[in-house]
Amino acid sequence: MDIALAEAEKAFKKEEVPIGCALFHRGVCIDKAHNLTNADKDPLSHAEMLCFQRLGKEYRPSEVEVVVTCEPCIMCMSLLLKLGIKKLTYGCKNPRFGGLTVFNTLKAIQHAPFEITQERPEEGIELLQRFYTLENTRAPPEKRKLKSTREAKILK
């Protein structure tokens, strides 16, 4: 989780939603990424997606453990299910877009095809709360102040 949290900090410093991901094979980190949706101008540039886009053929997804600072969204959760990863460890829950919490992806398929654990949720929440209390310099001026109170409260 330390590697994923360090990646999330990088995203925070770039004014991206602070979510980090790390992939492990036999206990060794084989890739890491953080959200880059604004930098890439691509709404699909989530940390999990970026890691798996770069994953070489030398690694089977069924042998890969995914560690992410926040519960994967429905898109990323669908990717993990499709790939058939070995294990998912996530930090905080995602009360708005979570593939497990909100959309209950696993209930739809009746069982979890891989192990799922939650670890150190308070650190992921703290990062997201810090992010959502900042002013979004890319937003129109009339929308800038609305973000801080609304989004930060949802995470509490």
Helices (H), ranges, the chain: 2-13, 37-40, 47-54, 74-83, 105-109, 121-132, 144-155
Q: What is the residue whose two structure tokens read 């070995």?
A: 86
Whole-angstrom distance, CA of residue 9 vs CA of residue 58:
29
Q: Which amino acid is at 109?
A: I
Taking Cα atoms as reference points, which of 36, 40, 47, 44 lies closest to residue 14?
36
Whole-angstrom distance, CA of residue 57 vs CA of residue 103:
31
- DSSP label of 94: -
Among candidate residues 7, 15, 16, 48, the one labeled active-site is 48
Whole-angstrom distance, CA of residue 20 vs CA of residue 33:
6
Q: Which amino acid is at 87?
A: K
Question: Is 48 a known active-site residue?
Answer: yes
Active centre residues (catalytic): 48
